[in-house]
Amino acid sequence: MRLLTIAAATFALILSYEAIATENQPYIEGRIGMLVPKDENISFSDGTTGEGTWKLGVGYAGEIGIAGVNGTGLRLGVSVQAANLEVDKLCVIGAACIDGAGEDVSAQIYQAQAYYDLDPLSGFRPYVGVGFGLVDTDSDTTEIAASASVGLNYNVTENAYVGLRADYLYTDTEDTVDLGGGLTATGEETTMWSVGAVIGFRF
C-alpha cells in the first residue's frame, strides 16, 4: 500500500504540472515482455556460496504519464510492472547443482520514468529513457529498482500507437528461497533484460 501511495502522489504531481502547460499530452500504455535474468551470486544458510540461474520469465506493465512536456520531446510517467521468475538451478561452489524447479519469485516494480522522444521518422518515433523506484517481492522485502530503456513506437492513428521496447532492469532484492530441510538460499542483486511489445494511447 505504501508503494501505491508513492506512485499515486508522483502522478498527481505530474498532472498538476500538466495543468499549467497546455502543450503536454496525457498517455496510457500497456506492455508485455520476455524477462531474461542474468545469473546471480547466492549465499546458502549453511554458510556455503554459489550461483543461481533463472528460467526465462514474462513481465506485464502498465504506465500513465504526460508526453510532450512544454512542447518538447520530454515524457514523464509512472509505471507498475509485475514479474514472475522461476529458479532454474542453484549451484554450490565446488559441489553439485540443485534443481530449482518449482521455486519462483514474484515481484511488483514501481517506478517513476523519464523519456526523451526523438524526432519521428515516417511514423516511427524512437526514444530513450531511465526509471527509478522500488521493487516489492512476495517475501515482503522492499528494495531499490532502476532501469534504462530504448524503444521505437509507431503511430497507428493520430492518438494510438504500438511499439517495441527493451529495458535493462536492476533490482537490489536479496530475495530468499526456501529449499526445504531448513536450507535457504539468498540472492544478491538481480539484473535482467525485458524485451517486448507496447500498445498505447495519447489523449
Contacts of 2 (CB under 8 A, 6+ apart): none
Mean pLDDT of all residues in the chain?
Answer: 82
The pLDDT of residue 18 is above 80: no
Distance in angstroms (rounded) separating the CA atoms of residues 151 and 93 = 39
The percentage of residues in the chain with a pLDDT greater than 90, rounded to a whole number, is 45
Per-residue model confidence (pLDDT) at position 131: 97
pLDDT value at residue 1? 45
Cα separation of 187 and 52, whole Å? 8
**What pLDDT digit, counting tens, does each position of 130-145 carry?**
999 998 877 666 788 9
* Grid coordinates of 100: 530449482
Note the pLDDT of residue 20.
Answer: 46
pLDDT for 14 equals: 54
Question: Which pLDDT does position 200 carry in this prediction?
Answer: 97
8 A C-beta contact, residue 87 and residue 57: no
CB 174 within 8 A of CB 143: yes
**Tens digits of per-residue pLDDT, 46-99?**
777 778 788 899 999 999 999 999 889 999 999 999 988 887 877 776 666 777
What are the residues whose beta carbons fall under 8 Å from the beta carbon of 137, sequence distance 6 or more? Answer: 105, 106, 107, 143, 173, 175
Cell numbers representing residue 183 in the block: 536450507
CB-based contact 79:110 (threshold 8 Å)? yes
> What pLDDT is attached to residue 88?
83
DSSP annotation of 69: G
Q: Helix, strand, or coil here: 5?
A: helix
Fold of 2-202: Porin (2.40.160)
What's the average model confidence in pLDDT over 151-165?
Answer: 95
- Stronger pLDDT, 120 or 8, i.e. the higher one: 120
Q: Do 121 and 127 form a contact (C-beta atoms < 8 A)?
A: no
